[in-house]
Amino acid sequence: MAELTPRMKELVQPYLAGIEPYDPNFTPTRINLSANENTYPVPAGVREAIDAALAATPLNRYPDPMSNELRDELAAWHGVTRENTCVGNGGDELLYNYLLAFGGAGRTLLNCPPCFSEYAFFASLCQTEVRDVWRDPASFELDQAAVLAAAPECSLAIVTSPNNPTGDVAPLDFVAALCDACPGMVMVDEAYVEFADDSFGAATTAQGLIAEHPNLVILHTLSKAFGAAGTRLGYVIAAPEVIDAFAAIRQIYSVNVLSQAAALACVRARDAYAPVVAQVASERERELCALHAMAAEGLPVEAWPSAANFVLVRTPHATHVRERLRDEYSILVRDFSYAPGLADCLRITVGTPQENDEVLAAFAALVKEEM
Ligand SMILES: *Cc1c(COP(=O)(O)O)cnc(C)c1O
């Protein structure tokens, strides 16, 4: 489904006619390292706690629209109050609602590609212009000066930290300066922040800036570190008036009772996830060492540092390497070759040690053969 049929192009709102639906390009494979999910087993006892919570959840009643019990648990974890947080059907719904609330016709989103493609997609759904300030083409670092120079002319901004797919963290002094420079809201998308330090993201998050910068909103999700992508649970942390805006426009029952119950059990068990997250981070470093060793041996492989649960690698014929990984090894990774600025780049999610051994061995073999 690359584009709409001619008939649909005529019938949808004119500004939607050119929209290209998101294609995750998913194929069932033995090892799936394509979507930055957590491939580790659920920590001992947590699945049982989730199952018990689901079994005890009545299905005949509508959900609590604001998920107050879950918000209280999230607030306790993050050291804020219920009034500082709002949940959504995945981080994606909150990203859409952010554009819906604060973007719109005549407004401009400040975007720093290469980054999460959903930002520009949701901006287009909400008729929001996008002002791209590109990262350095070689290092993928943010062009901080250019972002700050563009910010006064933009209505809202999104910075991803750690960034997907480049893996780097946005410095806090830069985020603070951006909040000062942008007349509207600034979102820091911290979908991967738990992997960025050994305190489950507490040392990396920009949350501490909210008190001084009331236009700042932090996005989180249970899809990555918590291995709960299927529950579709994301949340934002911001000043109460910002949360009121998110609450006012959201679809009231978008987070169903089962998702609320499962998410509450996950967040209550957060300490049990810390060792898994620590192991992913150490496996990520091992994987980067292995990729750098391939480069040192003369293989055409480039890899960037990452604070998330994936690594970005560049190698010639990346699209072909990815297809062969899928077809000959049944290993799925994500191809970014088509994306501007990411020619010949693949994103490999960090999996279990065994999955990582397999993908590294297969990747090295294929890169050699493609030389
Ligand atoms: C995965 C991801 C999200 C949110 O994903 P959901 O599954 O919708 O919660 C948000 N931002 C980035 C950059 C992501 O990679």
Burial class (CB in 10 A: 0-12, 13-18, 19+), 184: middle
Place of tokens 């009331």: 214
Domain boundary pick from 229, 252, 268: 268
CA neighbor of 156 nearest in space, from 224, 220, 101, 102: 102
Half-sphere exposure for 80 (CA within 13 Å, toward CB): 21
Q: Which domain holds residue 329?
A: 25-42+273-370
Tokens of 129: 């212009």
Give the type of residue at 230: G
Give the type of residue at 164: N
Tokens of 62: 């509508």
Ligand 1 environment, Cβ below 6 A: 36, 90-92, 116, 160, 164, 189, 191, 221, 223-224, 229, 234
Residue 5 lies in a domain: no
Residue 1 lies in a domain: no
290 & 260 share domain: no
CA neighbor of 192 nearest in space, from 77, 25, 37: 37
| pLDDT of 26 | 73
| pLDDT of 21 | 67
Residue 11 lies in a domain: no
| pLDDT of 342 | 98
For 318, 322, 346, the CA distances from 337, given in Å and listed in that order, are 7, 10, 7
Residue 10 lies in a domain: no
The CATH number given to whatever domain includes residue 89 is 3.40.640.10
| pLDDT of 18 | 87
| Cβ atoms of residues 122 and 99 within 8 Å | yes
Atom of ligand 1 nearest to the CA of 92: 8
| Cβ atoms of residues 110 and 124 within 8 Å | no
Between CA 111 and CA 187 the distance in angstroms is 11
162 & 286 share domain: no
134 & 32 share domain: no
Between CA 160 and CA 169 the distance in angstroms is 8
| pLDDT of 20 | 75
264 & 280 share domain: no
62 & 32 share domain: no
Residue 6 lies in a domain: no
CA neighbor of 192 nearest in space, from 215, 170, 216: 170
Atom of ligand 1 nearest to the CA of 233: 9
| pLDDT of 65 | 96
- Per residue of the chain (371 residues), give pLDDT as tens: 578 899 999 999 999 998 876 666 677 899 999 999 999 999 999 999 999 999 999 999 999 999 999 999 999 999 999 999 999 999 999 999 999 999 999 999 999 999 999 999 999 999 999 999 999 999 999 999 999 999 999 999 999 999 999 999 999 999 999 999 999 999 999 999 999 999 999 999 999 999 999 999 999 999 999 999 999 999 999 999 999 999 999 999 999 999 999 999 999 999 999 999 999 999 999 999 999 999 999 999 999 999 999 999 999 999 999 999 999 999 999 999 999 999 999 999 999 999 999 999 999 999 999 99
Which of 164, 255, 266 most suits a substitution to test ligand 1, by most atoms within 8 Å of the C-beta? 164
| pLDDT of 27 | 79
| Cβ atoms of residues 228 and 263 within 8 Å | yes
The CATH number given to whatever domain includes residue 323 is 3.90.1150.10
105 & 239 share domain: yes
How far, in Å, is the centroid of ligand 1 from the Cα of 344? 23
295 & 218 share domain: no
Largest interatomic CA distance in the chain: 62
How far, in Å, is the centroid of ligand 1 from the Cα of 158? 13
How far, in Å, is the centroid of ligand 1 from the Cα of 189? 8
